[in-house]
Amino acid sequence: MSDALSDGGSDIQQDDSHEDVMTPAELIAKLEEAWLNEKFSPELLENKSEVVECVMEQLTHMEANLQRVKKGDAKASIHHMEIDRIRFVLSSYLRSRLWKKEKSRGEGDASLLSPEEFAFAKEYYANTETYLKAVALKRMPPNLQTVDMLQSVPEPCLDSFVFLRVKERQENILVEPETDDQREYVVDLEEGSQHLMRYRTIAPLVSSGAVQLI
């Protein structure tokens, strides 16, 4: 991973104000973490547009460098496979977010979206409403020709169970009972441990980066 990306350029400065420098390998690790979290979480998470933009820039550098590699060089085929793998992860991450927006209530929380995602959500919602009215609602009885689009879309199931890996030790995590005859209890999550838990319980930890969905 890091060898393939090192051909793409120097380290990435992600935040000029804090001068945080991220190596290409660390950048791809961030992308993979965002991808897995988005893929396995039942709700739409905060966008990682800075990571996406940096990865796309690195891919451009890598492809440009591969053009200068001699034909028949074994490294070229390995780097091509790595580029394809990174593109798959990036595309899958973006598709997961678009799929959730298509299934969500309207434009949703704009703070979670990139400008491009917000424009897509707004246009998709408007087109869906227009299509529904043109194809179905206008043929319905007058008292049934209105529909609340926001109420017609179910909310994500935050009580679904997810697998997770703990990145930072967490203490006194409150776990809700599964049945009426059980009581609430607290657990400590040790770094490196893996668990199967209700998403609602660990959602804040996913947002903070303390745990990663797997």
The predicted-structure confidence for 142-199, as pLDDT tens digits, reads as follows: 877 777 766 667 788 999 999 999 999 999 998 887 766 667 789 999 999 999 999 9
Using 50, 70 and 90 to split pLDDT, how confident is the model at 134?
Answer: confident
Query: Cα angle at 149 between 143 and 150, to 5 degrees?
Result: 125
| C-alpha span between 52 and 87 (Å, rounded) | 11
Distance CA 168, CA 189 (A): 8
> Residue 67: is its pLDDT beyond 50?
yes
% of the chain at pLDDT higher than 90? 46
Residues pairing with 198 in the sheet: 161
In angstroms, what CA-CA distances link 148 with 50, 82, 106? 35, 46, 11
